Amino acid sequence: MYDVQSIRKDFPILAREVNGKPLTYLDNGASAQKPQVVIDAITQAYSMEYANVHRGLHFLSNLATDKYEAVRGTVARFLGAADENEIVLNSGTTEGINLVAYGWAMPRLEAGDEIILSVMEHHANIVPWHFLRERQGVVLKWVDVAADGSLDPQAVIDAIGPKTKLIAITQCSNVLGTMVDVKTICAEAHERGVPVMVDGSQGSVHAPVNVQDIDCDFYAITGHKLYGPSGSGAIYVKKERMAEMQPFIGGGDMIKEVTKDGVIYNDPPMMFEAGTPGIVQTIGMGVGLEYLMNLGMENVAAHEASLRDYANAKFKGLNWLNIQGNAPGKAAIFSMTLDGAAHAHDISTILDKRGVAVRAGHHCAGPLMEHMGVSATCRASFGLYNTTEEVDVLVDALELAHELLA
């Protein structure tokens, strides 16, 4: 039994008021709130257990190292990886994708080689590939989404040509909520000898993930969207791909030996983890992932699907509200505009007066905004602790915004 009211008690911030109204937090797509167990783990790590990892022989260093390294196994279980050594710990999806760009793609791609992207990628899954376009002459091939925001996996497969070296694709759009059939894309791409990197920043939040079943080559996640701290994340790298990679950040921990004449690198995945890491952030992420696994990602997905369906039913009564893309099976993420000239920032400001936190802007998805023909949207993104009553609060606030801005 999924008891959302009991779950809400695990998140202290949900009890506060904003502008004299109960907080209705619908900006989960940007960053999720933290349960008390994560907050407690961070406090404990800093107040009683803190030391640098991997470098000391004293009690606190060993304790911090054990807790930090245990998260590698936690991530592997959460993602369904076969081996925890396929997990590289980092600061989040952005660093993970840059690792793929610099560590795997840059040494292998030449001028004229192609990377396939969809138009609904987050900038974190666009900008690193533009670096390769600017510096090495790599060609970016774009696949459009349908009018309802869905992405046909066959359209991605059809874009593969003899020069295609990588597909970099989101599993779930942070703007539209569209869920992408990455398993089919991976299967067909591998038939053609093309690796696939999946941006799992949103996909891992809203549904169970098994990277072995998907059979992707890379899968990146970010901790702060998974109810953990900011500055934490990880990327799954299939062993075959990891063996092909070069390190792209140099420093402590990623080496075995340094002399005047050369460097002997550490074994993977440590080879890709330079410098003092986000020790406490990573420990907190591990606790957040354990929290999710205890709830059951199937249960989280079912709860969020019920919120999505309830919200869709409520939105149908607002004939002045435009939902940008509403693909079947999408996550509970809604990007909205109002009829007329109302700007997303004005809508968001009015909603905030009612205690409703949403995101307004281009959502780090410039190509998608251009494709949709809008400069900005108002995005309401639901999480595991949101309720149908909060959908009603959102609808009432949208009606006020329409009344004031129409």
| CA pair distance 77, 182, nearest whole angstrom | 20
Structure tokens at 183: 């398993």
C-alpha count within 13 angstroms, C-beta hemisphere, residue 73 = 5
Q: How many residues does the chain have?
A: 406
Residue of 172, 186, 216, 364 marked active site: 364
Strand 218-222 relative to strand 233-237, pairing = antiparallel
Has 172 been annotated as catalytic? no
Q: Catalytic residue numbers?
A: 364
